[in-house]
């Protein structure tokens, strides 16, 4: 097997490989503009939130495939696009999955690939919600470290092995009373992260915290994350402050030298999720370009790269209209910033 470039080498992952096609196969797009992306260092990993969008025909996939087919068979083709070196496993937020399911995902992607994995709402949401997303009663499992270890951390690491990237605990929007007592929640978060395993299945997991309540984004939280050895996940969402403020918070956590960078570019600023979805479907072109966010993310990625740290940035279709094309433009910004 040929050696992959190291941290300070630049080079694309192998080009999509040709294999005999079978009925129902999903193949990577051969004429995709993504194949024109600049070659970034392999420890700068860009990817999308999930992978099963029929509108990505010609960008990620050849041919027309229904979403259910892409969900089951599209990841292997996705992983053959050199630009796409990570993906956010979002389904794990809605319910835990088994070690075997994680292993199946790992078997479909190249060795250099690394997953961003969302922890289940079972331990990340303070309330139990109905089908409309309305909080009904308090969640007795909220920030239960033993449950999180058993249902999430252990099967994830055992299944993905070396392909496990950041394990992201996205704390869902908090009920008013709990949000107003932010100092108590920060103490609970510190106890929670302190009780998660530091080493498991022969690996040292990288934990990250993503917020949906801007009032929690405080120096006190950053000091806690520093003590706990947990990364702050930059979450670009209508509920959260602009990217520059989150960049400043990350600098407060890291001090002089950047740490590993975890970013989830979720939503175009000023839009609600459903509004963006309706505006951007079928997610095959950029509709509302956000050049300033790209420039800031490129600056952050460059700082982490120069500090010899790993980078994971995932983009959602609701950020600009088409996640793969957002990443293509971001890759160009990063290449320019690295020089």
Q: 149: domain CATH number?
A: 3.20.20.410
CA-CA distances (angstroms) from residue 45 to 7, 146, 314? 11, 30, 8
Average pLDDT score, the chain: 91
Q: Which pTM does this prediction carry?
A: 0.91
Q: Which tokens hold the place of 229?
A: 């050895």
Question: What is the model's pLDDT at position 130?
Answer: 77
Q: Is residue 27 part of a domain?
A: no
Does 306 fall in a domain? Answer: yes
In this model, does residue 169 exceed pLDDT 90? yes
- The answer to whether residue 28 is domain-embedded is no
Cα–Cα distance, 329 to 71 (Å, whole number)? 25
Q: Given this model, what pLDDT does residue 8 score?
A: 34
Q: What is the pLDDT of residue 176?
A: 76
* pLDDT reported for residue 180: 61
Residue with tokens 């053959």: 80
Decide which of 339 and 275 is more confident: 275
Are 150 and 120 within 8 A, CB to CB?
Answer: no
Q: Is the pLDDT of residue 18 over 70?
A: no
Q: 140: burial class by Cβ within 10 Å (0-12, 13-18, 19+)?
A: exposed
Sort 256 into a burial class: Cβ within 10 Å, 0-12 / 13-18 / 19+.
exposed
Which tokens belong to 279? 């505006």
Q: Cβ(117)–Cβ(164) under 8 Å?
A: yes
Cα separation, 16 vs 6, whole angstroms: 21
Confidence of residue 328 (pLDDT cuts 50, 70, 90): very high
Mean pLDDT across 166-179: 87
Q: Which of residues 133 and 249 earns the better pLDDT score?
A: 249
The CA distance from 187 to 189, in Å, is 5
Which residue, chain included where needed, has tokens 């070396």? 162
- Find out whether 318 and 267 touch, Cβ atoms under 8 Å: yes
pLDDT in tens, 27-86: 999 999 999 999 999 999 999 999 999 999 999 999 999 999 999 999 999 999 999 999
Give every strand in the sheet of 311-315, ordered side by side.
231-232, 206-210, 164-170, 114-118, 84-89, 44-49, 311-315, 261-265, 234-236
Hey, what are 97's tokens? 């999955």
What values do phi and psi take at 100, rounded to 5? Answer: -65, -35
Is 209 part of a structural domain of the chain?
Answer: yes
How many domains are contained in the chain? 1
Is 229 among the domain residues?
yes
| Element housing 170 (H / E) | strand 164-170
Backbone angles phi, psi at 268, to 5 degrees: -65, 135
Residues 6+ apart with CB under 8 A from 300: 234, 247, 250, 258, 261, 263
pLDDT tens figures, 262-312: 999 999 999 999 999 999 999 999 999 999 999 999 999 999 999 999 999
Mean pLDDT across 211-222: 94
Question: Is the model's pLDDT at 4 over the cut of 60?
Answer: no
Q: Which residue has 């050199």 as its token pair?
A: 82
pLDDT of residue 111: 96
What percent of the chain has pLDDT above 70?
91
Structure tokens at 110: 């190249």
Range of the structural domain that residue 51 is part of: 33-338
The closest alpha carbon to 292, from 339, 242, 238, belongs to: 242
The model's confidence at residue 5, banded by pLDDT at 50, 70 and 90, is very low
pLDDT per position as a tens digit, 70-106: 999 999 999 999 999 999 999 999 999 999 999 999 9
């Amino acid at each position: 097997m040929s050696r992959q470039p190291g941290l300070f080498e630049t080079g694309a992952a192998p080009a999509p490989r040709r294999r005999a096609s079978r009925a129902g196969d999903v193949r990577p797009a051969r004429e995709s503009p993504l194949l024109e992306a600049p070659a970034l260092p392999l420890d700068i990993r860009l990817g999308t939130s999930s992978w099963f969008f029929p509108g990505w025909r010609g960008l990620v996939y050849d041919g027309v495939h229904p979403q259910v087919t892409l969900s089951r068979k599209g990841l292997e083709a996705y992983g053959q696009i050199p630009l796409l070196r990570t993906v956010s496993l979002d389904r794990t937020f809605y319910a835990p999955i088994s070690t075997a399911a994680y292993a199946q995902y790992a078997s479909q992607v190249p060795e250099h690939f690394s997953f961003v994995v969302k922890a289940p709402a079972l331990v990340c949401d303070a309330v139990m919600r109905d089908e409309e997303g309305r909080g009904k009663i308090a969640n007795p499992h909220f920030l239960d470290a033993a449950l999180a270890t058993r249902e999430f951390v252990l099967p994830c690491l055992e299944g993905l092995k070396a392909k496990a990237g950041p394990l992201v605990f996205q704390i869902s929007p908090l009920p008013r009373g709990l949000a107003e007592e932010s100092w108590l929640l920060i103490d609970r978060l510190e106890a929670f992260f302190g009780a998660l395993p530091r080493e498991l299945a022969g690996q040292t997991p990288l934990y990250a915290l993503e917020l949906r309540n801007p009032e929690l984004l405080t120096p006190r939280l950053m000091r806690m994350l520093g003590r706990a050895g947990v990364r702050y996940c930059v979450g670009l969402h209508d509920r959260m402050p602009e990217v520059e403020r989150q960049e400043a918070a990350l600098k407060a956590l890291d001090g002089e030298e950047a740490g590993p960078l975890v970013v989830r570019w979720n939503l175009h600023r000023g839009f609600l999720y459903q509004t963006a979805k309706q505006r951007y479907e079928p997610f095959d072109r950029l509709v509302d370009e956000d050049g300033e966010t790209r420039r800031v993310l490129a600056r952050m990625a460059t700082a982490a790269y120069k500090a010899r740290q790993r980078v994971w940035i995932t983009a959602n279709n609701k950020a600009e209209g088409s996640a793969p094309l957002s990443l293509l433009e971001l890759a160009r910004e990063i290449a320019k910033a690295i020089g």
